[in-house]
């Protein structure tokens, strides 16, 4: 479990450093880019997608008979479907 936390922290720091590099690149090409637009497009959408990806597996773990196998199967089955609907919803309006 300790290694999972380390990998998660490493992924979080990699995400933040890639966001910094993306901000520098986009701001150089488009100086009129606002921070709110950048956060909405490149921070909120991935974090919201990750939350939707984990929502139903979290619900599965709440009930009796929970196991890591059920969690993994639920994440693989429901996660991409929820992420698809999340991106359809953000692009339709």
pLDDT in tens, 57-93: 777 777 777 677 777 777 777 777 777 776 666 565 4
DSSP track, 15-60: HHHHHHHHHHHHHHH-TT--HHHHHIIIIIHHHHHHHHHHHHHHHH
Whether the predicted pLDDT of 45 surpasses 80? no
pTM, full prediction: 0.50
Whether the predicted pLDDT of 32 surpasses 80? yes
pLDDT in tens, 10-24: 888 888 888 888 888
Which pLDDT score is estimated for 89? 62
């Amino acid at each position: 479990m300790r290694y999972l936390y380390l990998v998660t922290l490493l992924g979080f720091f990699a995400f933040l450093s890639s966001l910094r590099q993306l901000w520098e690149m986009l701001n150089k090409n488009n100086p009129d880019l606002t921070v709110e637009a950048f956060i909405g497009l490149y921070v909120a959408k991935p974090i919201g997608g990750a939350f939707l990806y984990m929502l139903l597996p979290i619900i599965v773990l709440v009930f009796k008979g929970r196991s890591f196998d059920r969690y993994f199967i639920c994440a693989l089955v429901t996660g991409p479907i929820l992420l698809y609907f999340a991106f359809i919803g953000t692009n339709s309006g």
